[in-house]
């Protein structure tokens, strides 16, 4: 599609895309995002930057981006080959931006990682300061490279623990290396270590998780439960079981909405049998978020935000955080296993600001 001449300017393009990013990251922007809209928004953004990213002549090589080009657009707009061809000084100047782009493909991440390694030099193991700079690029390091990292420093560990997208083998390599360098046992992991490990907790085997200090885990739950962990069902069940001990939150039957809100995604490991009868407690309901989301999708099919909150058009209610769910098991009815914490809803403005 044709792009207005007014947008064929780096400054204007940068301002437009920055405005879009701010909207997407804002509370109303997240609330008003329609299912499947990300693909449409990405295609529109690609069309906006095509004049700068792609060659206008057939058969001509695509341009090599400068750091200014990366900042005016977004890292994922450029191919792996273009990123790999960047001048070292320009790549170094934009490494912080490139390493934080969650829309980069594995191929682009690998290209950027290779470029970063050449920039850092061949010293092994990689210096902690370099690990801090890698960001999402670290998810492309090999198991051997991950095992060689210096993890006794809190900085690199917390950066790696905050990243998703690890494979099970990568997480295992990192956790094993951390425990070895720390010289302690799983039982000795306290709140600071558990919070710093984050996603990497899934690198512990279920039998190792059983040795975690349940009190320390309960204190780390607000941090760990805010993540979409890549743990297996068995691992989640083990973590949830630890939270039901008397030194943690106690039996599930005594839990109120505030505990489900506090432990977040860790509630996914609670056994359905332990959750029986919770729907009768104030603040808890059997209505799954999926049903409410389906209703919202139907209401927003016209492209408008639903009219809620006293019937005022252009406003909708937002729940403070996603409600936890229990995995459905064969032979068990959804209504028997799904109980949902109902956090207090509040009204926020909803407006359209997509590219």
Q: Give domain status of residue 38, yes or no.
A: no
Q: Give domain status of residue 127, yes or no.
A: no
Q: What is the pTM of this model?
A: 0.71
Q: Give domain status of residue 149, yes or no.
A: yes
Closest CA to 322 of 241, 277, 263, 239: 263
pLDDT digits (tens, 9 = 90+) for 92-126: 999 999 999 999 999 999 999 999 999 998 778 88
Domain that holds residue 205: 140-211
Closest CA to 154 of 126, 118, 194: 194
Say what the pLDDT of residue 35 is.
Answer: 66
User: What number is the average pLDDT over the span 142-147?
Assistant: 95
Q: Give domain status of residue 78, yes or no.
A: no
Say what the pLDDT of residue 236 is.
Answer: 95
Say what the pLDDT of residue 206 is.
Answer: 96
d(CA 235, CA 232): 5
Q: Give domain status of residue 188, yes or no.
A: yes
Say what the pLDDT of residue 52 is.
Answer: 67
- In terms of Cβ atoms closer than 10 Å to its own Cβ (0-12, 13-18, 19+), residue 162 is middle
Q: Give domain status of residue 197, yes or no.
A: yes
Closest CA to 341 of 290, 302, 283: 283
Number of domains in the chain: 1
Say what the pLDDT of residue 32 is.
Answer: 77
Least confident of 70-74, 196-200, 243-247: 70-74
Exposure string of 196-217, with b = 16+ CB inside 10 Å and e = fewer, is bbbbbbbbbebebbeebbbebb
Q: Tokens 């359905």 appear where?
A: 272
Closest CA to 91 of 63, 68, 61: 68
Say what the pLDDT of residue 8 is.
Answer: 64
d(CA 275, CA 102): 35
Q: Tokens 């295609």 appear where?
A: 43
Closest CA to 70 of 47, 48, 97, 92: 97
pLDDT digits (tens, 9 = 90+) for 277-314: 565 566 555 444 433 333 444 443 444 443 333 333 32
pLDDT digits (tens, 9 = 90+) for 326-351: 333 333 332 333 333 434 333 344 44
What number of residues does the chain have? 355
* Residues β-bridged to residue 285: 340
**What does the mean pLDDT of the chain come to?**
77
Q: Residue 53: which pLDDT band, with cuts at 50, 70 and 90?
A: confident
Q: Give domain status of residue 199, yes or no.
A: yes
């Amino acid at each position: 599609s044709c792009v207005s001449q007014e947008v064929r300017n780096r400054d204007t393009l940068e301002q437009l895309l920055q405005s879009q990013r701010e909207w997407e990251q804002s509370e109303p922007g997240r609330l008003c995002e329609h299912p499947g809209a990300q693909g449409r928004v990405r295609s529109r953004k690609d069309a906006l930057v095509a004049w700068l990213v792609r060659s206008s002549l057939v058969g001509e090589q695509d341009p090599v981006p400068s750091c200014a080009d990366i900042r005016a657009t977004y890292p994922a707009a450029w191919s792996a080959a273009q990123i790999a061809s960047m001048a070292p000084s320009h790549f170094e100047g934009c490494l912080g931006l490139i390493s934080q782009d969650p829309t980069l493909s594995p191929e682009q991440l690998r290209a950027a990682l290779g470029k970063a390694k050449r920039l850092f030099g061949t010293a092994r193991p990689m210096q902690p300061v370099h690990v801090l700079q890698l960001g999402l690029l670290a998810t492309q390091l090999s198991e051997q490279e991950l095992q060689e990292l210096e993890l006794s420093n809190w900085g690199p560990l917390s950066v790696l623990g905050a990243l998703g997208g690890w494979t099970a083998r990568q997480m295992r390599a990192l956790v094993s290396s951390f425990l070895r360098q720390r010289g302690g046992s799983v039982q000795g992991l306290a709140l600071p270590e558990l919070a710093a490990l984050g996603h990497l907790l899934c690198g512990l085997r279920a039998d190792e998780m059983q040795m975690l200090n349940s009190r320390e885990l309960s204190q780390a739950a607000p941090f760990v439960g805010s993540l979409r962990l890549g743990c297996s069902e068995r691992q989640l069940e083990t973590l949830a079981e630890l939270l039901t001990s008397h030194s943690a939150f106690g039996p599930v039957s005594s839990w109120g909405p505030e505990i489900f809100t506090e432990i977040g995604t860790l509630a996914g490991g609670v056994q359905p049998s332990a959750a029986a009868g919770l729907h009768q407690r104030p603040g808890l309901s059997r209505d799954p978020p999926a049903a409410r989301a389906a209703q919202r999708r139907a209401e927003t099919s016209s492209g408008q935000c639903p009219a809620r909150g006293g019937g005022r058009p252009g406003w909708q209610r937002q729940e403070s955080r996603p409600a936890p769910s229990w995995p459905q098991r064969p032979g068990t009815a959804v209504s028997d296993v799904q109980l949902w914490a109902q956090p207090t809803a509040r009204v926020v403005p909803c407006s359209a600001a997509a590219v």
